[in-house]
Amino acid sequence: MPAALKGEGRRGALPPSLFPLPVSAIVIDLDGTLLHTAPELAESANRMLRDMGRPAVSQELLMSYIGNGIHWLVKRALTGDMYAEPDATLFDRALPVFEQHYTALLLDSKPFPNVIAGLDAMKAAGYRLGCITNKVERYTTPLLRGIGLAHYFDIVLAGDTLPEKKPHPLPLLHSAKFFGVPVERLLLIGDSLSDTQAARAAGCPVFCVPYGYNHGEPVEGLDLDAVIPDLPAALKLIRHI
């Protein structure tokens, strides 16, 4: 089975006969899809814990905490639990410490393999591109500019741009309206459950890459349309319309 279709047969994955999908615009997740930000996020969390007199946590565990925004990463680092709420005073002390460290490390992140080639190929094929992330704008804009990716995107929606963020469908519905295309012709490429939930709620197709930050779980088990090894592989499964 081709790598690009190895999600076929899982929950919502489409059979090969339905490809290529008609797509007018593409929106792409940031952390875990475009950029390998986990090392910097994990290091920032551990520096925060150290500064607060707490023991360090393994990078692997911290990587499993990534995906719902920095507030949840800090909460999970403090509690060691995916959904527990730390003491409010403790969280209020910890968050600015994390933010200080992450600001210093922000531009150490790197694109995943073939990301630049994939973005170039998508633009050459006539697709308009957007970036949708749960990372707040104060980090998103400097990161995309500093890494040299900002010019690829006609729209960038950070975690605090709209009243709702992924897994809510609003960022996808807003993007479709921005591009002037039916939402079912807007493709989301992501790496996690929040991406697939947002896409299903919005009614648009979703591909996932297997190398990202899906809380330590394989993306093949998600409700998606295809698993692609990298961004260029998406072009084999879509047609511009």
Does 157 score more than 70 pLDDT?
A: yes
Q: Contact, 228 vs 237, CB < 8 A?
A: yes
Q: Which of 195, 231, 225, 229 has its CA nearest to residue 20?
A: 225
- Spatial distance between the Cα atoms of 173 and 115, rounded to a whole number of angstroms: 25
- Spatial distance between the Cα atoms of 32 and 133, rounded to a whole number of angstroms: 10
pLDDT per residue as tens digits for the range 218-230: 999 999 999 999 9
Catalytic annotation present for 29: yes
- Spatial distance between the Cα atoms of 139 and 90, rounded to a whole number of angstroms: 23
Q: Which of 29, 191, 195, 225 is catalytic?
A: 29
pLDDT per residue as tens digits for the range 7-48: 333 455 788 889 999 999 999 999 999 999 999 999 999 999
Does 5 score more than 50 pLDDT?
A: no
pTM for the full model? Answer: 0.90
Does residue 59 sit in helix, strand or coil?
A: helix
Does 4 score more than 50 pLDDT?
A: no
Region at 53 (left for phi over 0; alpha for psi -120 to 50; beta for the rest): left
Considering the domain 3-36+110-240 in this protein, what is its CATH number? 3.40.50.1000
pLDDT per residue as tens digits for the range 13-22: 788 889 999 9
- Strands 206-208 and 186-190, sheet pairing: parallel
**First vs last C-alpha separation in the chain:** 27
38-108 maps to CATH 1.10.150.240: yes
Q: In what order do the strands lie in the sheet with 25-28?
A: 155-157, 128-132, 25-28, 186-190, 206-208, 226-227
- Domain parsing of the chain, residue ranges: 3-36+110-240, 38-108
